[in-house]
Chain A
Amino acid sequence: MSDKKTVRFIISRQDTPDSAPYQEEFELDYRPNMNVISALMEIRRNPVNTKGEATTPIAWDMNCLEEVCGACSMVINGRPRQSCSALVDQLEQPIRLEPMRTFPVVRDLQVDRSRMFDSLKRVKAWVPIDGTYDLGPGPRMPEKKRQWAYELSKCMTCGVCLEACPNVNDKSDFIGPQSLSQVRLFNAHPTGALNKGERLETIMGDGGLANCGNSQNCVQSCPKGIPLTTSIAALNRDTTLQAFKNFFGSDQV
């Protein structure tokens, strides 16, 4: 062994959305406090693999670099997580990087997370207040509830829970834990609750709550510690009540 400490990476690469994936190995000089992104930047500076061949720099997504934007998620040593907070010192070597294949791969480690944003639109994960006149202030929210809701609002649409879920894949249209939990968040908001029934109706349909298989991988893997399975179970209760209301109620409001 050389006296200089090095870090080895095995990276799963793919040149176009439709081309076959292949693996490429890289070896870098170790520096203290390296994370996966700083290593990828180092490779970008000098894209030469372990065979000594010059290659293209690796494509990946990143933005905030402090685990709040969710853009840099990838599968690191078999587990999906954010590459900005994946410290090289804490990872087993060689470090294996793969894209989250639950999503369409754009190139190398870069994936297209559109399906989550489409789901958020489907479930109306917002508080509708737009109009032609000032609606005035909304009702107040108890502080304790606000603190509770803040935990749900930490979701950064990173896609880790969808990658971990066995029921989210190309054969199913399950919207996944991420947008379901947002339904609970916006239904809990005093003004958002005005559209509660509408959101519940959506998740009672195709690709909604019924597709959950209770493997509970989502709550185990969420980097923000969001109680995703509690959200799903709470929504199960809400939709059961909504179904009774729809069937036995006098109207559907």
Chain B
Amino acid sequence: MLGVIPVGLFLMQHLVVNHFATGGEESFNNAAHFMEQLPFRYFLEIFIIFLPLLFHAIYGLYIAFTAKNNIGQYSHFRNWMFMLQRVSGVITLVFVAWHVWETRIAAAFGADVNFQMMETILSSPFMLWFYLIGVISTTFHFANGLWSFFVSWGITVTPRSQVISTYVTIGVFIALSIVGVRAILAFV
């Protein structure tokens, strides 16, 4: 619930704002500036982003490390997704922690978050790959999490509805990955 409603919505908003980078430096800076100027910014950040994200991350780590994965014996699609959801969760957490440190916390210490900052970060090939893997792992975790959300809240009950939901969430994964990757490549 926390993963989809506040954090998932924030993720989509963030990827869309990033996508302004494909329109050039000025377009990205204007969009980022608009977000910085939102009223009640700290309130929005704390209650829509940081608190739900922290809860989701800590509880998620506990769940991920309680599981005993058994892909070896059961190699069907859903069990793979189960394992990948946990792996992508951990990768996403490492990526998000680093990303928040590098941008939002740096901003709190006075750095200006703009096109140039991202350009500098992504000029290193290692960071470029780190960001690409991080973003794709995040969109996967979100799309597959959306599938589980529909099951956990009793929306998709029958096997048929769960199959269709798989196709829909694969579509969400591909679409968001394109938006995210295009934004990254715009800085290179």
Is the A/B pair a real complex?
A: yes
Which positions in A face B, CB cutoff 8 Å?
A: 78-79, 164, 166-167, 169, 171-172, 210, 212-217, 220-221, 227, 229-230, 232-241
Distance of A167 Cα from B85 Cα, bound (Å): 14
Distance of A217 Cα from B153 Cα, bound (Å): 20
**In the complex, chain A residues whose CB is within 8 Å of the CB of B73:** 78-79, 164
**In the complex, chain A residues whose CB is within 8 Å of the CB of B72:** 78
- Asked if residues A233 and B154 are in contact (CB atoms below 8 Å), the reply is yes
Between-chain CB contacts (< 8 Å), 12 pairs: A164-B73, A166-B70, A169-B66, A172-B66, A214-B151, A215-B78, A215-B81, A215-B82, A217-B70, A217-B78, A232-B151, A233-B156
Given A164-B70, A169-B68, A214-B148; A236-B82 close (CB under 8 Å): no
Which positions in B face A, CB cutoff 8 Å?
A: 63, 66-70, 72-74, 76, 78-79, 81-83, 85, 147-148, 151-159, 162
Task: With CB as the reference atom, state the residue of chain B lying closest to A213.
Answer: B82
A interface, over-half SS: helix
B110 CB to nearest A CB, Å: 43
**In the complex, chain B residues whose CB is within 8 Å of the CB of A238:** 154
Given A215-B82, A217-B74, A237-B154; A166-B159 close (CB under 8 Å): no
B121 CB to nearest A CB, Å: 35
**In the complex, chain B residues whose CB is within 8 Å of the CB of A235:** 154
- Asked if residues B82 and A233 are in contact (CB atoms below 8 Å), the reply is no
Task: With CB as the reference atom, state the residue of chain A lying closest to B63.
Answer: A213
**In the complex, chain B residues whose CB is within 8 Å of the CB of A214:** 78, 81-82, 147-148, 151-152
In addition to A166-B67, A236-B153, 10 A-B residue pairs with Cβ atoms within 8 Å of each other are A215-B74, A217-B76, A220-B79, A227-B159, A232-B151, A233-B156, A234-B154, A237-B154, A240-B153, A241-B154
**In the complex, chain B residues whose CB is within 8 Å of the CB of A79:** 73
- Asked if residues A166 and B76 are in contact (CB atoms below 8 Å), the reply is no
A83 CB to nearest B CB, Å: 17
Given A166-B67, A229-B159; A216-B79 close (CB under 8 Å): yes
B5 CB to nearest A CB, Å: 14
Distance of A61 Cα from B73 Cα, bound (Å): 23
- Asked if residues A237 and B67 are in contact (CB atoms below 8 Å), the reply is no
Given A78-B72, A215-B79, A215-B82; A171-B153 close (CB under 8 Å): no
**In the complex, chain A residues whose CB is within 8 Å of the CB of B152:** 210, 212, 214, 236
- Asked if residues B151 and A220 are in contact (CB atoms below 8 Å), the reply is no
- Asked if residues B66 and A221 are in contact (CB atoms below 8 Å), the reply is no
